Amino acid sequence: MPEAIAGNVSQFKLLDVLKLLTSEGQTGVLSLRKGNEKGEIYVDKGSLIHAISRAGMGAEAIFSIATWTAGNFNFNPNVTTKERTIDKDTNSLLNETIQYLHEWEQIKEVIPSQDLIFRLSSKRAPEEIRLQHEEWSVLSQIDGKKKVGDIADELKMGEHETARILYKLFSAGLIEVGTEPQLKTKKTVDAGFLAYLEGKLAAIIGPVASVIIEEEIKDMGEQRGAFPTGKVSLLVEKISSEITDDTQRIEFQKIALEAFRGV
């Protein structure tokens, strides 16, 4: 009889979980959560049939969730859906996801943040290479002012798909990195506060706490040594989502925010 399973993607990667569920011919829904982000992946007798996340549906959703380095998941067996957003063979899709993750590592080296701004390159004209419709759409948004996230919102395109196209345009020499938005000098938290936060989280979930905090800070486009005070509440919310016990999670949030006010 199939059993419910749960865990953290910082310890069990999504691909490994999906390989387990599909190889065992499971039916059910894999629900995932990272801070305010949620995702669902449905399996029917070992086949991936439907997925949804903030990035979109189908394969795009799976690609997006596969890049998560933190977050909780749980699998509820025998849950079905009539939705069918995946029409690819499951093994082929899993192999594509592996390739996508390799590509994503390269993309992140060029586009580490959704706040990055690109400008058109003066070195090469767009007519020199062939572009698909979606690539022209993204290229037309490049004005030296819009951030990567703005372009994704404007085109109603997933963040990962937008970044993939921008990376291709960058590699082709059509665009170049402009600037990150000019921000006013921002207040940063004392290093002791983050160490205190890590200690409190580790007391609840163990040594993986340090990995989770580092990854969440990275995903927010910040650095531990210069983390802005204005994002502390969001950070606390994100890392506390890793605590499965409601009482412990609420208590952790209370202690963290009280400690921050005392800094």
Question: Does residue 256 contact residue 203 with C-beta atoms inside 8 Å?
Answer: no
| DSSP-assigned letter for residue 68 | -
User: CA separation (Å) from 118 to 111, 115, 131, 146, 218?
Assistant: 10, 10, 18, 8, 21
pLDDT tens digit string along 232-243? 877 887 888 888
pLDDT tens digit string along 175-201? 999 865 444 456 888 888 888 888 998
pLDDT band of 26, cuts 50, 70, 90: very high
pLDDT tens digit string along 40-78? 999 999 999 999 998 789 998 999 899 888 888 999 999
Amino acid at 82: K
The three-class DSSP label of residue 7 is strand
CATH, range 111-177: 1.10.10
- pTM higher than 0.85: no
Q: In this predicted structure, what is the pLDDT of residue 1?
A: 41
36, 68, 109, 101: which is closest to 219 by C-alpha? 68
pLDDT band of 25, cuts 50, 70, 90: very high
Q: Which residue has the tokens 């921002």?
A: 186
